[in-house]
Amino acid sequence: MPNVRGTTGESGQAIVVMLGAILLAVAMVGTIVDGGNVLAQQRVAQNGVDATAEAGAVLLAGRLAGQSDPSGGWDLNVAGRIAQVAAANNVTVRAAYYTDICGIPLKADGTAAIFGNRSEDLNNALKVGNASHILPGGTATAPDCPNRLVGPVAGVLVLADKIVGTYVARAIGIASFTVTTRATAVAGYLQGYCDATQGKYCALLPVAFPVDMITCDGNNRPIDTGQSWQFNKVYKFPLCSNSPGNVGFIDWDPPAGGAGEVVCSILTADNPAIDLPSWQYVTATGNINGGGGACRMSIEEALRTYEGQVVLAPQFDLTCNPAHNGDPDSTKPAVITAPNYGCPAGDLGGNGTNQWYRMPSFAFLELCGPAVPGCGGLHGAYISGSDAATCDTGNGATACLVAKFVNIMGTGTVGAGVGSGTGNKAIGVQLIK
């Protein structure tokens, strides 16, 4: 009998050890299988929250572009869009907050919702979908991101969860894990562009448009009206005499090439990367009524191949003609400091072969064509110099482009407003965190 009792005790201990080993094995397998699944779902959840934040920023981009208030107001519509995209991506939004373009959460009065150590104070930040259905107020206009000085509302911060069911860990009582993530997306004006070798989304039309509306005087010289071009309105852009302030045809590699090179640049984009604002030496184009060259087409014919299409075009607000073939300064703060903005004193404007444009912004442009609604059957380009019947709207123009600025959005680096006017700049949305 004593021997039997001893054997039974050893068997019981073996069973306990075996059960422990099984549970340990299950835990290890669960860690491998369910842990790997959680990591994979973390990436899925992050993509979903990124899309959710971008959806809110896209609506704020419309507000920045001057769209009228939507039915129910901006806050309700931003909240609704965030909820819609979150549901489509199977993530649960815990909270969403308004931010400026630096990603700093904002209070209802538009001040920064941050502590003295610059960490976020989300308890006092204004939520998307707040009880008063308001956007952050205040008078801030010029953000300074490094110093945490806020600008106006421009983005949303989204905090979200995703419930991930388990496979193996369920056997030890763990039915699910919660993945937590966040994303911030902001809307602003495109601040730079890649070079054309990086793909079609980096292509710029080699035509520079003034930031402000222009007209021609009685001597066919361009006059700056001081008013911004507006979105979705068909304009006849007058081509006055070849002088500073006029719509400019761009030779990206002057002075060689001239108009023939411009034709090739229209047909196959070859622009360099451009940061905004910056000075660009691009204006030695020669006779725009000619062209052809290696690409066997006139500038007018080349532009008409884009009729009905939306293209990205650079804008300029100043010209500079430095003496002794000097270069204007594109570094900050010179390029943003009045009155010369980096152009040597006394050299703003002027005529000559050493002509530079200061480019502060881009714009999306839709060229007209006979089949394009709202264009009255007109082509997008009349630049032969003998089209007064079409181009003269009382300003004496004999040549013009016919097009409209459209408020679609691109992706890329964005920032606060640059240059003069805001009515027709290219808007972008950027994930920043």
* pLDDT tens sequence across 222-280: 888 888 888 889 999 998 876 677 888 888 888 777 778 888 899 999 888 888 889 99
Report the distance separating Cα 57 and Cα 60, nearest Å: 5
For the ranges 127-131, 306-310, 345-349, the lowest mean pLDDT is seen at: 345-349
| pLDDT for residue 67 | 79
pLDDT band at 1; cut points 50, 70, 90: very low
Q: Are 122 and 113 in contact (CB under 8 A)?
A: yes
Q: What is the pLDDT of residue 308?
A: 94
Q: What span, in angstroms and rounded, lies between the C-alpha atoms of 99 and 33? A: 38
Asked whether the beta carbons of 359 and 283 are under 8 A apart, the reply is no
Q: For the segment 100-109, what is each residue's pLDDT rounded down to a tens digit?
A: 999 999 999 9
Q: Would you place residue 323 in the very low, low, confident or very high pLDDT band (cuts 50, 70, 90)?
A: confident
Across the range 175-180, mean pLDDT stands at 77
Residue with tokens 């989204």: 158
The pLDDT score that the predictor gives to residue 34 is 57
Band of pLDDT at residue 396, cut at 50, 70 and 90? confident
Q: What's at 30, amino acid-wise?
A: G
Spell out the residues 6+ positions from residue 10 whose beta carbon is closer than 8 angstroms to its own.
none
% of the chain at pLDDT higher than 90: 36
The H or E element containing residue 390 is helix 388-391
- Per-range mean pLDDT, top range of 65-69, 169-173, 256-260: 65-69
Residue with tokens 């001239």: 258
Give residue 36's pLDDT.
Answer: 63
